[in-house]
Amino acid sequence: MSKHVLITGGAGFIGSNFVRHWCKNHPDDNGRVVVLDILGYAGNPANVADLEEQERFSLVKGDICDRSLVTELLTREKINTIIHFAAESHVDRSILGPAAFVQTNVVGTFTLLEAFRQHWEAQAKPSHYRFLHVSTDEVYGSLAADDPAFTETTPYAPNSPYSASKAGSDHLARAYFHTYGMPTLITNCSNNYGPYQFPEKLIPLMCLNILLGKPLPVYGDGQNVRDWLHVSDHCTAIETVLNQANPGDVYNIGGNNQVKNLDIVHQLCDLMGELAPAMGMELPTAPRELITFVRDRPGHDRRYAMDISKIERDLGWSPAYNFETGLRQTVEWYLQHRDWWQPLLSEEYKGYYAKLYGQR
Ligand code: NAD
Ligand code: DAU
């Protein structure tokens, strides 16, 4: 039976990588592939422009909080599967302005769940329908250096407005399974990196600042640890969960790859120092000289680490990318795609950047 998928946030970083992955892996599928994205600052039609020619694909500009639009799409496109990426995703922005995070991440997820419940019930609750909610490791809070990694049963302890709003949305997705029997799935993933990531996030921000000769702002002492996963691995994990997991299941996804921020910044400096000149781009300043320690992020989680033994054991998924190779490819991608990122450094973005980094 064909899956007719609604991919919310499919014009963002992970969503667009997932749509491309999906279309590539289902070349002869008649199923609809509908992206619903508000096309805000992080949602970029260019991220999915190469898919526009496919008849089964459509990009709809709209808000997941718009119940009538969501209901209309579910009905018109005969959607039987939602993969829900849409979110306000940047922790620093959630500190500057939390309201948008509660609206999209909590109210928006609730709106989708309600619309999908009505749609699923109207079809007499087909057993193959799925609502996969894409979430984050940040809901589990912060680990000390020698704490064991997060498992699916680690209690929630979110520390930022972003992670609190994601935790709220996770709880709603869970409740819709337990209360209504609606076939929801939840994935909690660690930090992603790869092509099409908006320049506000650590890895692209450092790459672009090196290229532009701007300071590299390292928060606090730079010893915070994140568990990095290539976005392609996240896509295969989501598809695996969608195809194999039982309704109501929760899976952690991660890279078994804990790295300190400062180590990543050093790696990026070295990669840029090697690759940019080789591609004909002279760097204005030796990259490591740009490193600047700045005031820490409020409530900054010290360490994340994911225990992924459940998805490895139950579903046979594990990460395929090697971090060194993946990071090198990512740096090359940013060097090769100035036409993609240059327009993103808009007046709005410059205003955000000045507000966040100007006072640090
Ligand atoms: P992103 O900011 O690049 O993309 C989010 C997308 O959602 C954008 O295209 C944006 O326009 C869209 N969107 C925002 N508000 C919307 C609304 N009200 N209606 C419709 N669309 C809206 O984020 P990302 O990094 O691709 O993250 C995608 C999802 O994955 C998020 O739910 C995030 O919490 C989760 N996640 C991200 C990471 C990571 O490292 N980036 C890790 C784990 C989980
Ligand atoms: O862990 C999963 C999460 O990863 C996702 O849920 C979020 O959507 C995603 O944005 C990401 O959150 P982080 O806060 O970990 O990512 P970010 O790229 O903002 O920061 C990574 C680390 O680098 C973090 O410890 C803060 C630090 N940092 C970040 C920026 C932007 C700096 O030191 N300097 C910076 O300028």
pLDDT digits (tens, 9 = 90+) for 277-322: 999 999 999 999 999 999 999 999 999 999 999 999 999 999 999 9
pLDDT on residue 314: 98
C-alpha to C-alpha distance for 349 and 133, rounded to whole angstroms: 28
| Any atom of ligand 2 within 6 Å of the Cβ of 142 | no
Active site residue 146: no
Tell me if residue 63 falls in helix, strand or coil.
coil
pLDDT on residue 16: 98
Residue given tokens 């092509």 in the structure block: 195
Q: How far is the centre of ligand 2, averaged over its atoms, from the C-alpha of 91 (Å)?
A: 7
For the stretch 171-205, pLDDT in tens is 999 999 999 999 999 999 999 999 999 999 999 99
Residue given tokens 């600042």 in the structure block: 209
pLDDT on residue 51: 96
C-alpha to C-alpha distance for 197 and 214, rounded to whole angstroms: 19
Kindly tell me if the per-residue pLDDT of 341 is higher than 90: yes
- Rounded mean pLDDT of 99-125? 98
> Is 5-193+231-255+300-322 a domain of CATH 3.30.360.10?
no
C-alpha distances (whole Å) from 142 to each of 93, 158, 190, 218, 227 are 19, 8, 13, 19, 12
* Single-letter code of the amino acid located at 176: Y
CA 259, 166, 19, 9: dihedral to nearest 10 degrees? -120
CA atoms within 13 A on the CB side of 90: 19
CB-count exposure of residue 207 (10 Å: 0-12, 13-18, 19+):
buried
- Rounded mean pLDDT of 81-94? 98
Kindly tell me if the per-residue pLDDT of 360 is higher than 90: no
pLDDT on residue 339: 98
Both structure tokens of 347:
């007046």
For the stretch 5-58, pLDDT in tens is 999 999 999 999 999 999 999 988 889 999 999 999 999 999 999 999 999 999
Query: Which of 102, 107, 109 minimizes the C-alpha distance to 86?
Result: 109
* Single-letter code of the amino acid located at 285: T
CA 213, 285, 327, 147: dihedral to nearest 10 degrees? -90
pTM: 0.99
C-alpha to C-alpha distance for 346 and 112, rounded to whole angstroms: 31
| Any atom of ligand 1 within 6 Å of the Cβ of 63 | yes
* Nearest atom, ligand 2, residue 91 CA: 14
60 contact partners, CB below 8 Å, separation of at least 6: 34, 35, 36, 37, 69, 73
Looking at residue 30, what DSSP letter applies? -
C-alpha distances (whole Å) from 145 to each of 109, 191, 302, 323 are 33, 18, 8, 21
| Any atom of ligand 2 within 6 Å of the Cβ of 42 | no
| Any atom of ligand 1 within 6 Å of the Cβ of 65 | yes
- Rounded mean pLDDT of 126-145? 98
Phi, psi of 317 (to 5 degrees): -95, 140
Neighbours of 29 (CB within 10 A): 15
C-alpha to C-alpha distance for 17 and 145, rounded to whole angstroms: 32
Both structure tokens of 114:
């309600």
C-alpha to C-alpha distance for 53 and 71, rounded to whole angstroms: 25
Active-site pick, 137, 200, 227, 301: 137
* Single-letter code of the amino acid located at 1: M
Strands 291-294, 216-219: pairing is parallel
44 contact partners, CB below 8 Å, separation of at least 6: 11, 12, 16, 196, 344
C-alpha to C-alpha distance for 300 and 303, rounded to whole angstroms: 9
Kindly tell me if the per-residue pLDDT of 82 is higher than 90: yes
Q: In the beta sheet, which residues pair with residue 131? A: 82, 184
C-alpha to C-alpha distance for 182 and 131, rounded to whole angstroms: 8
Active site residue 66: no
| Any atom of ligand 2 within 6 Å of the Cβ of 219 | yes
Residue spans per domain, the chain: 5-193+231-255+300-322
Pocket test for ligand 2, best of 105, 137, 202, 219 (most atoms within 8 A of CB): 202
Neighbours of 24 (CB within 10 A): 10
pLDDT on residue 27: 84
Active site residue 72: no
Ligand nearest, relative to CA of residue 16: 1
Query: Which of 150, 109, 134, 229 minimizes the C-alpha distance to 187?
Result: 134
For the stretch 205-262, pLDDT in tens is 999 999 999 999 999 999 999 999 999 999 999 999 999 999 999 999 999 999 999 9
Tell me if residue 79 falls in helix, strand or coil.
coil
- Rounded mean pLDDT of 314-335? 98
As a whole number, the mean pLDDT across the chain is 98
pLDDT on residue 329: 98
Compute the residue count for the chain: 360
